[in-house]
Structure 1
Amino acid sequence: MRGRVVIGVTLVVVAGVLWWLREEKEDAAAVAASEVGEAAVEAVTVARVEAAVLQIDPRLGARASIAGFVKDSRGAPIAGAQVCALATSERVTTEERRRPDCATSERDGHYRIAGLFPVRHEVVGSAPGFIPALYAQGEGASRREWVELRQGMEMLGADIVLEAGGVEIRGVVKDLSGGPIEGAQLLGNRQPVVVTGPEGEFSMWVRPGSSRCGRWPTATRTGATTVWRRGTSTRCS
């Protein structure tokens, strides 16, 4: 009789232990699931916040600036160089991308361009007698020829190195009637903006080699939305 009682008590104790262990596992699983759920919610929230930040209109935020020095291949400063920052982001309009912000380098080669939208830009420099060049970072596969500006950012050290050997191209921009177009902006690949003079004349320095006027993508009249892509004659010499 005692043996049966002991066995019965033992079975009850074992059953109680097993039940307790099961409850512990279920509680632990519930806690783990809760933590995973919270982490997932947090990750989704962060992603949504980051996406919202990216969608903020760049016109509403604080403007950015870029500064640096223009030098030749020996490290000597180049005064009077033109440096332009061109927005390449789809977050601004095509018209805004066609209006680069430019500055002229000082005696020590220093330049600064302010009032830029906090978006991706290309920064290109040019000077008489030199080959135009983009500001670049990194080497090889990590090389980048653009900068990602943020709200209120003051980017320093955007130095541009120009190599000697540029070739000058001169031309005239006219309308269909043959009249000169003053104040037209010539925008080319890896080229700062060039503005035509009173008689539609312009001068630009390019890399040696074959060059055709037809390769220049646009010529826009300053202060207007007209794009002189068609109906414009350009004579080069």
Structure 2
Amino acid sequence: MRIVLADDQSVVRAALRMVIERREDLHVVSEAADGAQAVAAAFEFRPDVVVMDVRMPGMTGVDATRAIVRDWPHADPHPKILILTTFDLDEYVHAALHAGAAGFLLKNSQPDQLAEAIRIVAEGESILSPSTTRRLIDAFTRSAAGPRATAGEVDLVDRLTERERDVLVLLAKGYTNPEIAEILGLTETSVRSRVNRILTRLQLDNRVQAALAAYRAGLISDEKL
């Protein structure tokens, strides 16, 4: 997988590059020190994923994300964008996701979590840090839509196998595929396959929607998040 790194701190970029390129399937093709450079690098190198910092001088990571998604000049799909930041703030989460980011991960995440997040968004899924997932669910339950699922939604969840429901509950709590595999005694490939089946059966696009569906269907409660 081809990756562009965007962060205004050269030390951070060097550390991220080291973490990423220790994985045989991940390769950094370009670096950027601000949002404008990130857009230019994405347009030129056409990576699979852009790992994007939020706070950068000039064009922010959110604005760069919006520009890449909106102005993508090529016929092939635009790269997936993983927002990586030290700030777990609602304004950044909502703005980044609204701009078209596929994931949001904190910089203090473990190296394996970063590598897995890159793989997940490259495959067309979404990922958030566990704390961010909880905050989004909290915001959802405070909204006018409320936490109740429709009869149709409950029926779809009921059609999942017991193991798929186990995976869904852990996914909703913010666990990554490797963590779910370890907890349930499965392989990562098996977990990834089950996540894809869950999304298909529930007619959902990403892990965030799956987390909300699990909450709405009563599979998890506030105390268990």
TM-score bracket relative to the smaller structure: under 0.3
| TM-score in terms of structure 2 length | 0.25
Q: Which structure's relative contact order is higher, taking Cα pairs within 8 Å and 6+ residues apart?
A: 1
TM (norm. structure 1) is: 0.24
More helix by share: 2
- Which protein shows a greater Rg? 1
Higher strand share: 1
